[in-house]
Chain A
Amino acid sequence: MEHSLAADFGNESAMTLNQVGVGRDVRIRVLRGPGCDRLRDLGFCEQVQVRKLTGGRNPICSVCGTRLAISRELAEQVLVAPMH
């Protein structure tokens, strides 16, 4: 179900947080995977704007004015779309 939702966003938007370039602003479209609840508790919710600050082993993102570091496995569970 979630996979098909992600597919609906089209090629351009179906990317994970890991695939986003450093310094880019994106909007979270879908969370999928076992870490979803914890990600939402941390502020990674659908429709929220995120800026990726660093890449690497644990990418750092700015979410609602807070810097959060999450593992690449968790970042893979966050599907985002670029801001227009």
Chain B
Amino acid sequence: MHTASDSPSTIALIGNPNTGKTTLFNALTGANAKVGNYSGVTVEIKSGETFTPHGKKLRVLDLPGCYSLRAPSPDEQVAVDALKGDLTGYAKPDLVVCVLDASNLERHLQLALQVMALKIPTILALNMVDMAEKSGLRLDPAKLSEELGVPVVPMQARAGKGIIELKQALRFPFPTAAHATWLPGTDDTEDTRRTFIRKLCELAARRPDAHQLTFADQLDDWLLHPVWGWVAFFAIMFAVFWGIFSFARIPMGWIESAQGAVAGGVESLMPAGDLRSLLVDGVLGGVGGVVVFLPQIVLLFFFIGLLESSGYMARAAYLMDGVMARTGLSGKAFLPLFSSYACAIPGVMATRTIDSAKERLATIFIAPWMSCSARLPVYFLIVPLLLHENEGSWKQAFVLFAIYTLGTLSAFVVARVVRGKLGPDPTAHHFMLELPPYRWPQWSYICRHVLERGGSFVAKAGTLILGLSILLWALSTYPKADGDGEDALAASALGRLGTVIEPVMKPLGFDGRVGTAILTSFAAREIFNSSMAVLFRVDKVDGDEETRSSLRDRLALAKWPDGRPLFTPLSMISLLVFYIYALQCLPTSVVVAKEAGSWKWALAQLAFMTGFAYAASLCVFQAGKLLGF
């Protein structure tokens, strides 16, 4: 008997990968957890709350997808442990909602029977019944319920259909654990279960006899073709980069204009002095130098969301398997690596879907070389400077594409070395991948996800980057010295730091100011832009005709003391190369240490990537100089 004073009962959502558990979790709890149309999106337990129709609170656990309770991969093991109550911090579930893809009951009922055999009260949620019926499957949920002895709720979690019916089934008292109706006097073996499922599906989920050639089959003929598949892959990736550059221009212009207007307003209202300089150069310059790239960040997450929810990601992983095999990894490693283009942290966590522990370690090691969204502000500051503003979007997109390709290919080479050092697996692991049906993107989810990521980018700019910008401004202003412009900067704490590190950075083609900006960006990569805005503010002073120009214009005019331009194509390429390879993200190192189970691994990765970034940048600049660039 549950009373209001009891701690809430726990229900767990379990099922094969890509059956819509997280979509159902979001619908039940109002959360906005990540969903996608491929296996392995959820790799850790998510917890939320929902209420029964009578107002009783329930704790809902969204478990990673698993094909069986045998669980060879780490993410599946988490689900199995949670189900058995063996996971610290989570109560054993009082009820399990087994989420099944209604189109694949023959396969998914195997896991459901394994769960029911644990004698935990179970409800079956038949998800995506619309797609099952569209494919010609004739479902009989009542018959299923009768034969299995558990409640069966047909639903479409994406459209919110069946949620009320499921909540009705969650009423207290919970249904009792089902008896094994598939055991009429026989042993509970896998054969018995399979025979039972086959007979049950003949009764309650009849499939049209002939295999029908679906739209997905026809599309796959092209997208998985050994030649056209690769053409499509590169075309899609290039279109994403082109889209980011082209579509972001207009909103970026608005942000720059607004920033200029606010700065102009502050300058006209306030007398010249430290406070005005703090607001205009420190706050507006530092934060603005990062926020101006919000449209690109939003577009990147939008395009990644499109690819993830359409079903193309699994196709890309399939195509990549051959390439990845040469690096000692498999196509399965591609999905975590692709996630790392957005952010390395979920990418590193997504490696839990990889069965082989050694392949997983190698994938974790290289994940930060997939250029994450935090590098975008740096790339977007430098790439247009490299090509001049008036160059077409496609040229800029090509350079960006080349940056991503360089990072990815280098990562593959390192993976091969690391994988070789780790040695062969004690047991063989083979490639297997489910290719989900193509689906229309979940626009509402993508919009919420993009807003959330955009919001967190702005929040980061308003907190961490704002704080560091103010600190950077103070360090670049004090102690004060007589004189203006570069003399004042040289006397400041940041200027002195620049003087100290300039000998180390000069062989890479950077002066002390750029070196200081790189050093500060170890706190967060985006800080590079803020530091550059603060450090290069002095270049805009031009007698009485002080004009407010964009940071990029100021960088284009920056010079060495002897009058040579500071930012030559070679020094800019050297800078880009440094940012492709440098690991400047403490949260990533923390997650790597946790997932790899060793701080040594995380520290070795940090040391290797920092050293490699310096060496690569040095080689590019020195080789370029020798070649006369």
Q: Are B428 and A73 in contact (CB under 8 A)?
A: yes
Q: How far is the CB of A60 from chain B (nearest CB, A)?
A: 7
Question: A57 — nearest CB in chain B belongs to which residue?
Answer: B322
Q: Are A66 and B107 in contact (CB under 8 A)?
A: yes
Residue B435 at the A interface, CB < 8 A? yes
Complex partner residue of B432 from A46, A51, A62, A69, CB under 8 angstroms? A69
Contact partners of A51 in chain B: CB under 8 A: 211
Stretch at the interface among B216-224, B343-351, B444-452: B216-224
Question: A37-B70, A41-B70, A46-B194 are known contacts. Are A58 and B220 too (CB-CB below 8 A)?
Answer: no
Q: Mark B390-431, 1 if CB is under 8 A from A, else 0.
A: 000000000000000000000000000000000000011011
Q: How far is the CB of A22 from chain B (nearest CB, A)?
A: 11
Question: A51 — nearest CB in chain B belongs to which residue?
Answer: B211
Q: Mark B181-216, 1 if CB is under 8 A from A, else 0.
A: 000000000100010001000000001000100001
CA distance A16 to B106 in the complex (A): 22
Residue B44 at the A interface, CB < 8 A? no
Question: A73-B430, A74-B432 are known contacts. Are A43 and B322 too (CB-CB below 8 A)?
Answer: no
Q: Are B67 and A42 in contact (CB under 8 A)?
A: yes
Contact partners of A67 in chain B: CB under 8 A: 216-217, 220, 434-435
CA distance A41 to B432 in the complex (A): 11
Complex partner residue of B433 from A40, A41, A68, CB under 8 angstroms? A68
Q: How far is the CB of B203 from chain A (nearest CB, A)?
A: 16
Residue A10 at the B interface, CB < 8 A? no
Q: Are B70 and A60 in contact (CB under 8 A)?
A: no
Residue A84 at the B interface, CB < 8 A? no
Q: How far is the CB of B426 from chain A (nearest CB, A)?
A: 12
Q: Are B68 and A41 in contact (CB under 8 A)?
A: yes
Query: Which positions 143-189 of chain B face chain A at CB distance < 8 Å?
Result: none
Q: Are A45 and B104 in contact (CB under 8 A)?
A: no
Query: Which positions 58-112 of chain B face chain A at CB distance < 8 Å?
Result: 67-68, 70, 72, 103-107, 110-111
Contact partners of B224 in chain A: CB under 8 A: 54, 60
Q: Mark A34-75, 1 if CB is under 8 A from B, else 0.
A: 110111111101111001011011101011111111110110
CA distance A53 to B221 in the complex (A): 9
Residue B135 at the A interface, CB < 8 A? yes
Residue B226 at the A interface, CB < 8 A? yes
Question: A70 — nearest CB in chain B belongs to which residue?
Answer: B432
Contact partners of A42 in chain B: CB under 8 A: 67, 107, 432, 434
Contact partners of B135 in chain A: CB under 8 A: 65
Residue B49 at the A interface, CB < 8 A? no
Question: A58-B321, A64-B107, A67-B220 are known contacts. Are A45 and B434 too (CB-CB below 8 A)?
Answer: no
Residue B318 at the A interface, CB < 8 A? yes
Q: How far is the CB of B135 from chain A (nearest CB, A)?
A: 6
Q: How far is the CB of B538 from chain A (nearest CB, A)?
A: 58
Q: Are A43 and B107 in contact (CB under 8 A)?
A: yes
Question: A69-B433, A71-B430 are known contacts. Are A64 and B104 too (CB-CB below 8 A)?
Answer: yes
Q: Are A34 and B427 in contact (CB under 8 A)?
A: yes
CA distance A35 to B432 in the complex (A): 11
Q: Are A57 and B321 in contact (CB under 8 A)?
A: yes
Contact partners of B321 in chain A: CB under 8 A: 57-58
CA distance A42 to B135 in the complex (A): 20
Q: How far is the CB of B68 from chain A (nearest CB, A)?
A: 4
Q: Are B194 and A71 in contact (CB under 8 A)?
A: no
CA distance A23 to B322 in the complex (A): 23
CA distance A47 to B194 in the complex (A): 10
Q: Are A40 and B190 in contact (CB under 8 A)?
A: yes
Q: Are B435 and A69 in contact (CB under 8 A)?
A: yes
Q: Are B103 and A66 in contact (CB under 8 A)?
A: yes
Q: Are B70 and A66 in contact (CB under 8 A)?
A: no
Q: How far is the CB of A37 from chain B (nearest CB, A)?
A: 6
Contact partners of A34 in chain B: CB under 8 A: 427-428
Q: Are B104 and A43 in contact (CB under 8 A)?
A: yes
- Can you sample 18 A-B contacts with CB below 8 Å? A34-B428, A35-B430, A38-B67, A41-B111, A42-B67, A46-B194, A53-B217, A60-B224, A62-B217, A64-B105, A64-B107, A65-B103, A66-B435, A67-B435, A69-B435, A70-B432, A71-B432, A73-B428
- Kindly list 20 other residue pairs between chains A and B, CB separation below 8 angstroms, not including A46-B194, A66-B434, A74-B432: A35-B430, A37-B68, A38-B67, A38-B72, A40-B190, A43-B107, A51-B211, A53-B220, A54-B220, A60-B435, A62-B211, A64-B105, A64-B207, A66-B103, A66-B104, A66-B435, A67-B216, A67-B220, A69-B435, A73-B430
For the complex of A and B, list the 4 residue pairs with the smallest distance between their C-beta atoms, beginning with the closest.
A43-B107, A41-B67, A67-B435, A41-B68
